[in-house]
Structure 1
Amino acid sequence: MDRTAAAAALNGYTIVGHSRPVTNSYAAFGQTIWHVTPTLDLTTGLRYTYETKTGYFEQTATGASLAGLTPAQLVAANSIRARYGVANAYTASTKEGRLSGSATLSWKVTPDALVYATYGRGHKFGGLNLANIVTTGAFAADPVIKPETIDSYELGVKTAWFNNALTANLAAFWTNDSDYQTTVVDTDRNNQSYFTNVGKVRTRGFEADLRASPAPWLSLYASGAFTDAKYVDYANAPCPIEVTGQTTCDLSGRRLPGVSKWAVSTGGEARQAVGSLLGRDSEAYVGADYSYRSDFNTTASLSRYSLIPGYSLVNARLGVRALDGIVDIQVWARNLTNTLYYLSLSAGTTGAVTGTLGDPRTYGVTLRTRF
């Protein structure tokens, strides 16, 4: 590389970008409940939403004059500046009206057992990609992001046992998301990376919830979920940092970021009357909670350097409270086992892997009151 051209291109070269989005949203909605029989209900709802979005992006680029460079050096200097950004400005707007709704059929099999089936269609409205993209010429990209369309299905059962001393709920779900909004790298548009619509995303799984009060002084709970979430179609995805020699990667069939396959939590609380606190009937209590989530990725490119291993957390508390809630004094500990875990991980182009750690073992005292 010509050092003279590089120095002339970047010395004092300054890029400043501004954007301003404006959104107006209007909606009307309604709901009906039809008691088909004394034990069978059909609940329906509709919502119409209309949105308008306008905005602009403006980028200025200033630097020293390139006068005095040879023609070859001038080409090289402008090429270097183009890598970092050049003057750019555009306006964009979109308007969209969408109808969403849901229908739930519920059957009370017995006074303590309810079976239900639900279908819903919703939308995540699009927007404007007010970033440094090219909107004219051979490599033009559309700054307007289309809405997502989400079709969801759920089948479940809710039960109560032993005069509500035990409740058990189970549900299975399936969601199809079309025109999913995420980042792509477009090789036909000079390898621009920008936010837009890709193909389809699918999420399916099941979840269970259990709550019990085996004695007046004891309450327990447990819940768990299995979630299979993946990109069905994501052909022009940004490649993870460890992939070299290609601009885009096909992530179709790969797991969605931010979603663990397994998530489990359980815990409970024991209570004992202790007489009077500030002239009010009070109780002492002790409780603990355990949670676990399996590994998940924190970047859309699914880099192995952004894969967070599964981890477990244990929290505990001990306190005294008035039964009317006027005062509650609690000693607590979070992450009691001092587990080292991450909230996020990512690798940069420099090769450095950065992350955000979760809180270590933490103790404290909390006083709550109300007026």
Structure 2
Amino acid sequence: MTKTKTHFALRKAFLLAASGMMLPLGGTAFAQDSGTAVEEGAYGDIIVTAQRRAELSRDVPISLTTISSDDLTKANITDTTGLEQLTPSLKLDRQGNFTAPALRGISGTVTGPAMDNNVAIYVDGVYMPSTTAGTFDLPDIERVEVLKGPQGTLFGRNATGGAIQVITKKPQYTAEGLFSASYGRFDDVFVKGYVSAPVVDDKAAISLSAYYHRSDSYYKNLRPDSSLDGEESWQIRGKLRWNPAPNLEMLFSAAYGERSETFAIYGTPVNGNTLTRLLDPNAIIPSKPYEAALNDEVAPQKNKSLDISGRIELTLDAGTLTSTTAYLTRDMSNGLDSDMSYSPLGLSVVYFPHTFDQSFSEELTFASDLDGPLNFTLGASYVDGKGGWNPLSVDSPGVANDVTIWSTQKIKAFAAYGEAYFDLTDRLTLIGGLRYSWEKRSLEGNGVFGEIFAPDPGQLHVATKSWDSITPRASIKYEVTPTSNVYFTYSQGFKSGVFNSNNPFTVLFGLEPDVVNPEKIKSYELGFKGRMNSVLSLEMAGFYYDYTNLQTTIITIVGGAPLSVLRNAKAARVYGLEADASLRFSDMFDMRFAGAWVDAKYKNFQDTAINVPCTDYNVPCGTDGPVPTLGGNGTVPFDASGQRMIRAPKFTGTVTANGHVPVGGGKLDLTASVYYSTSVSYTLDQRIKQPSFAKVDARAAWSPDDSGLTFSVYGKNLTNKAVYAGAFITPVADAVHWAAPRTYGVQVDYRF
């Protein structure tokens, strides 16, 4: 290859590595009470706080999935990425330290510090800002609530797709605890514990939870002279509950954890497509699932998290006033081998020595409890945060001082909301609410460009912008029987605009700092919820979304080079059907059937671009014609209008069966489940797809009577399906990351 062509290839790799490769997960560059969820009456009557007040799940006119701690245990789910197997229409893909949930086809490709998801995540009522806060272990969980559809009023900040509420255990006034240890394939060790005890009877109680998790890598190393790092994480959380008066409760929580993992580092170029192949014919290039070959400089990603929060709850005759205050930090570092292969001539290694996110938040809510037909919820919230790279660096052998980026994006957000509930008759309820949202963002960033961009020294970019919106929600609910109802809900969602804190190159080419305007969505949903009899509980919903200004990451050509930038796609539409049926045939056997059919398409998404392998003709790959071997991608214009939205499978479903049998002086619990998904596309042109797949999991647990002990064996992905857990499609490589293959293990639990 000529020096000019090599220089072009390196320049392209550097631009994409620094400006976009930390961004996409699959684009073109791509409640009030945190207490116990209880059963009330018959099977399926679960208390939730989806409307910031304790209610039966079936009485809430919102499509939602509630996952209990027992559900998590039976499915052997230990972190948030496993929630999708219990929630049809939810998909959780990852790219390094960043997580982007997709719900009913609504997802984001905009990831990075100070850049929020389309599906909001809350832990104990505290909003988790940024895509850096989406992946964490679940050691002391009471329940998880997945609220589907835009949350126009009560949980409306950056929730165009929905919201995920994680509720952890609250200290109790009776002593209780749990200790658990498991060992599985790949030397997977998971140990956790939870203890709660009273300090002063009915006045003060404390709890302490902790976990430790480590595992070897499930990737095969193609380099015999190097080793692959595994994963290791731990966290400790302490809580203090204080009731100085019968109507006043204070709950203080502090959690600190560390996580070291290699998820984003290990990947496989699809069909061996990586630019390294052109630069070095002798490069070691992975080609099969679970293969990896990396440059020596790549280090595991490390994540440190600190969460401090306080909640004060005052119960009055007219209702409950709640204040929630929180301070959160995330500090991360890691490296990324951009071409997912090994060569002494390696293209580039991206370093993230310090990625950070910080936020302070305060929220006040008042939930009325009046005797008459009218009740209401009022609230206001404030967020002050920032995040960025300090710095981000790109290095390559033989090139000095390649690229270094510093950027900080600051956020100030305010919202005020109200919602009223009026019982027009004993059976008919009307609900209406409004939310006002205001968000201001400012960006300061600089890029220093070395030899590959000489003589440009980099330019400072500074920008500030604010947005506001009013989003309504209106519902009508009719009680068909005392245990069933139908509802219709109209709601709107708003996701704030955002700067691209990852990309200083727009300034390099004389453009304004990269920014996108807010997303907006209108939702129409008709649903049914009911406990039909002592056996069957059923929920069904049909929905339609009108989705505009989708925030996306795309490839565009600037100054003759491909850049990963943010853009608003003009419009999309989504509609679908969901059903969730739980059947309790007896105390010894129950089943759950749940499924979601979603049709999600871009209506108007012109002037974008896609990556096409350089072996195709008429692709600008920096050569005089098509190259003879597969080696990276060229960038060509593309109109995605009419295409299926990325990360939006047409159908997902799960079937779970639980058996409970008295055996040998104890109880034997048997669980088997199947999760199925149709194909999932990670590119606008549907070129990179995860084929349809089914995963089978099983668990057997025996609990001796009156012992508090449980002994169990488990197996996950028993059919050993190779499934994408994320994709990284750039001009440098078609790289995918793999979810775990078949795993199995043993576990022992002790409860008191």
TM range (shorter): 0.7 to 0.9
- Structure 2: where are the runs of 5+ without partners? 12-397, 621-634
The question of 1:292 aligning with 2:676 is answered yes
Which residue is 2:405 aligned to? 17
3-state SS of the aligned residue for 1:12? strand
3-state SS of the aligned residue for 2:648? coil
Which residue is 1:169 aligned to? 539
The question of 1:365 aligning with 2:742 is answered no
Which residue is 1:254 aligned to? 643
Separation in 2, partners of 1:185, 1:356: 21
Deviation at residue 117 of structure 1 after TM alignment: 0.3
Deviation at residue 303 of structure 1 after TM alignment: 4.9
Deviation at residue 202 of structure 1 after TM alignment: 1.4
Are residues 348 and 180 of structure 1, via their aligned partners in 2, closer, same or farther at CA, if it must alter by over 3 Å?
closer
- Structure 1: where are the runs of 5+ without partners? 64-79, 277-281
Which residue is 2:190 aligned to? none
Separation in 1, partners of 2:506, 2:702: 62
User: 1:25-44 counterparts in 2 under 5 A?
Assistant: 25-44=413-432
Separation in 2, partners of 1:33, 1:347: 47
Asked which structure has the greater RCO (Cα within 8 Å, sep 6+), the reply is 2
3-state SS of the aligned residue for 1:37? coil
Are residues 258 and 218 of structure 1, via their aligned partners in 2, closer, same or farther at CA, if it must alter by over 3 Å?
same
Are residues 12 and 328 of structure 1, via their aligned partners in 2, closer, same or farther at CA, if it must alter by over 3 Å?
same
Selected match of 2:523 from 146, 149, 152 = 152
Deviation at residue 354 of structure 1 after TM alignment: 2.6
The question of 1:337 aligning with 2:719 is answered yes
Are residues 347 and 90 of structure 1, via their aligned partners in 2, closer, same or farther at CA, if it must alter by over 3 Å?
closer
Deviation at residue 185 of structure 1 after TM alignment: 4.4
Separation in 2, partners of 1:112, 1:12: 70
Are residues 331 and 238 of structure 1, via their aligned partners in 2, closer, same or farther at CA, if it must alter by over 3 Å?
same
Are residues 203 and 143 of structure 1, via their aligned partners in 2, closer, same or farther at CA, if it must alter by over 3 Å?
same
Compute the TM-score of the two structures, normalised by the length of structure 1.
0.82
Which residue is 2:571 aligned to? 200
Are residues 46 and 268 of structure 1, via their aligned partners in 2, closer, same or farther at CA, if it must alter by over 3 Å?
same
User: 1:1-371 counterparts in 2 under 5 A?
Assistant: 12=400, 14-63=402-451, 81=453, 87-130=458-501, 131-135=503-507, 140-141=511-512, 143-163=514-534, 165-186=535-556, 192-242=563-613, 244=619, 247-274=636-663, 283-299=667-683, 301-304=684-687, 306-321=688-703, 326-350=708-732, 352-370=733-751
3-state SS of the aligned residue for 1:134? helix
Are residues 99 and 325 of structure 1, via their aligned partners in 2, closer, same or farther at CA, if it must alter by over 3 Å?
farther
Contact 1:240–1:302 (Cα < 8 Å) also in 2: no
Deviation at residue 365 of structure 1 after TM alignment: 1.5
Alignment coverage as a number of residue pairs: 341
3-state SS of the aligned residue for 1:50? strand
Percent of paired sites with the same residue: 26
3-state SS of the aligned residue for 1:360? coil
Q: Which piece of structure 1 moves more, 339-348 or 44-53? A: 339-348
Are residues 361 and 48 of structure 1, via their aligned partners in 2, closer, same or farther at CA, if it must alter by over 3 Å?
same
Are residues 112 and 314 of structure 1, via their aligned partners in 2, closer, same or farther at CA, if it must alter by over 3 Å?
same
Are residues 224 and 2 of structure 1, via their aligned partners in 2, closer, same or farther at CA, if it must alter by over 3 Å?
closer
Are residues 188 and 358 of structure 1, via their aligned partners in 2, closer, same or farther at CA, if it must alter by over 3 Å?
closer
Which residue is 2:68 aligned to? none
Contact 1:179–1:199 (Cα < 8 Å) also in 2: yes
> Who wins on radius of gyration, i.e. which is larger?
1
Compute the TM-score of the two structures, normalised by the length of structure 2.
0.42
Deviation at residue 97 of structure 1 after TM alignment: 2.3
Are residues 254 and 324 of structure 1, via their aligned partners in 2, closer, same or farther at CA, if it must alter by over 3 Å?
farther
Deviation at residue 94 of structure 1 after TM alignment: 1.3
Q: Deviations over 1:283-317 (max 9, x none)?
A: 22111000100001124x3451x211010010000
Deviation at residue 51 of structure 1 after TM alignment: 1.7
Separation in 2, partners of 1:162, 1:188: 63
Higher strand share: 1
Deviation at residue 325 of structure 1 after TM alignment: 10
Separation in 2, partners of 1:296, 1:2: 39
Contact 2:458–2:508 (Cα < 8 Å) also in 1: no
Separation in 2, partners of 1:324, 1:55: 60
